[in-house]
Amino acid sequence: MIEIKKMVVKVSGKTILDGINLTVKPGEVVAIMGPNGSGKSTLAYALAGHPKYEISNFQFPISNKKKKNNWIIKLDGKRIDDKSPDERAKAGLFLANQYPMSIPGLGIYSFLWQTWKKRSQISDFRSQKDPKVMSLVEFRKYVVELAQSLNLNLELLGRSLNDGFSGGEKKKMEILQMLVFSPKYLVLDEIDSGLDVDALKIIAQSVAKVAKEKNIGVLVITHYNRILKYLPADKVVILEKGKIIKTGGKKLAEEIEEIGYGKI
């Protein structure tokens, strides 16, 4: 389970999130919604460990946050707020970015193969239902199958990561990476932005399927209810001005779609 306790997040001295309490259980889909500037993406980056985002807690000053019991974020009972981004990833946290970067020169097959090998060295990963030890040839076939399930143009697999990709293709590549990585917890930062209806449906249904099959906790950050039609949320959380103002079920997302955030 992801546990966040009274988290305060600042950027360049300005408070963006102010006392956030949140949990995401294995197999649970939690939707974070809110207007522009409410702190949704800040929550995603703070969870992932982006160095730009300085986190603290209401209960103690930043200078004391290294003390053992002064945790802010836990993953499956282990503190991760004092860990680097790569250590958080190794613990099973995956962030699918709103604006994936292009990395010319980094071949997709090579990148995914190295990711797979790193994850396969972790005992929790090997203990999953499909602890398959694959050769490079088998792995390439596996990646092709995953790409086909996302309706991703197979010619793109021969390129550098996201190099020359459209916005929708980049989003699909994020999900392909997620499928290979097979995380314990997935954070989707407005993955639905810029997608056409077909791409949105494919991506959302793919996430819903793998989350159910592998008991992955999902934190989906979005402005709109449309992605939740294909990736149903167990819990909907509304952020406004850095604070959680309301929590409810899927009907809350439908209500927002009808009346907007101003009347919540």
To which H or E segment does residue 43 belong? helix 40-48
Distance set, CA 12 to CA 16, 36, 53, 73 (Å) = 10, 19, 8, 21
What string of DSSP letters covers 171-200? HHHHHHHHHHH--SEEEEESTTTT--HHHH
Whether residue 84 contacts residue 50, with contact meaning beta carbons closer than 8 Å, is answered with: no
Select 2-263's CATH number: 3.40.50.300, 3.40.50.360, 1.10.645.10, 3.90.1150.10: 3.40.50.300
Q: What is the pLDDT of residues 167-176, one digit of tens each?
A: 889 999 999 9
Q: What is the pLDDT at residue 124?
A: 57
Q: Average per-residue pLDDT in the chain?
A: 88
Structural tokens at position 68: 């053992």
Whether residue 169 contacts residue 152, with contact meaning beta carbons closer than 8 Å, is answered with: yes
Q: What is the pLDDT at residue 258?
A: 83
* CA 58 – CA 73 distance, rounded (Å): 13
pLDDT above 70: residue 122: no
Q: What is the pLDDT of residues 208-254, one digit of tens each?
A: 998 998 899 999 999 888 899 999 999 999 999 999 999 999 889 88
